[in-house]
Amino acid sequence: MKGFDSFWEIGIGLWLTLAVSPPGTGNPGLQVTVSNSSPRQGEIVVLRLNDAGVSRAAVSKREKNLPFFPSLTRKGEWLALVPFDLEDPPGDYRQDLAVVFSSGREERREIALRLEPGQFGRRELHLPAGMVHPPASKRARIAAERALLEEVFRKVSPQIKITGRFLSPFPGFQGVAFGEERILNGERRSPHGGVDCPAREGTTVAASDSGTVVLARELYFEGNTVIIDHGLGIYTMYLHLKSFQVSEGYEVRRGEVIGWVGHTGRGTGPHLHFGARILGERVDPNQLLGLSFD
């Protein structure tokens, strides 16, 4: 599998050389379940393996390799989250699944998915000119912050850190506008990579799941921002906070307070921008909230 060995090198510490099993030689007991064979842009496909003999497994999407992790509650079940970025081209995607059994035997299978176009809206916003065309004095800062975010999302922690279903950041949270085309002061900009939910300023914001706080600072466009690493390339992000009470490196627990709703950075009023990345790909965080790891 192209790039499979490099995946294990990033931290799992395993080296695999997999050959495709000839017809009829695969493990008849290995069950592979696909949550959705026709996802839309920005959606997550969950793969599940059910076999008590599985030792480790991963699935590839183009140049990226996504590890499986053991179910939190079901012995012998393994899960992998396959992300589709909101701007991934629709079409056919073939996923190479590699499995190593506790006996040492190795097996590979192919999973075919069909990506459908997303259904995204369009919105025009009128903002202060400085938030659309920042002054020259701010451009170096903005460039540095973009590079910082790219660096954060490139890192893949080798162990899963989630401890249950992903929680809404606060009661009554209803995030909307994922993938929405944004027209700022008449100019088309990048599609909206997260969801927004208006809320009263000072509303408590909680960590959606357990993980490590890898960024907690004020950014030019995003305002007061917290990003949590949940392991295996899974991140959630909380933007425009009034303030936050966690620091970088802190191990946060699922449901723990991390900050409060505000309107810092670029925005039109108090709200929480809630985002999710999986191996750098922008996915609808509402998809994470709908996943079950039971």
- Asked whether residue 95 falls in the same domain as residue 168, the answer is no
pLDDT recorded at residue 11:
34
Interval 211-235: pLDDT, tens: 999 999 999 999 999 999 999 999 9
Rounded to two decimals, the pTM is 0.89
* Cα atoms in the Cβ-side hemisphere of radius 13 Å centred on 23: 0
Report residue 82 as tokens. Answer: 């396959």
- Asked whether residue 284 falls in the same domain as residue 208, the answer is yes
- Asked whether residue 214 falls in the same domain as residue 75, the answer is no
**Coarse DSSP helix, strand, coil percentages of the chain, rounded to the nearest 5 percent:** 10, 40, 50
Report residue 234 as tokens. Answer: 């899974």
Alpha-carbon distance of 226 to 237, in angstroms, equals 6
Domain assignment of residue 170, yes or no: yes
Tally of structural domains, the chain: 2
Interval 183-196: pLDDT, tens: 888 778 789 999 99
Q: Which phi-psi region, left, alpha or beta, contains residue 62 (left: φ > 0; alpha: ψ -120 to 50)?
A: left
Under the banding of pLDDT at 50, 70 and 90, the label for residue 27 is low
- Asked whether residue 277 falls in the same domain as residue 139, the answer is yes
- Domain final position from 65, 86, 115: 115
> Which phi and psi (to 5°) does residue 8 adopt?
-65, -30
Q: What is the residue type of 240?
A: H
Alpha-carbon distance of 174 to 277, in angstroms, equals 19
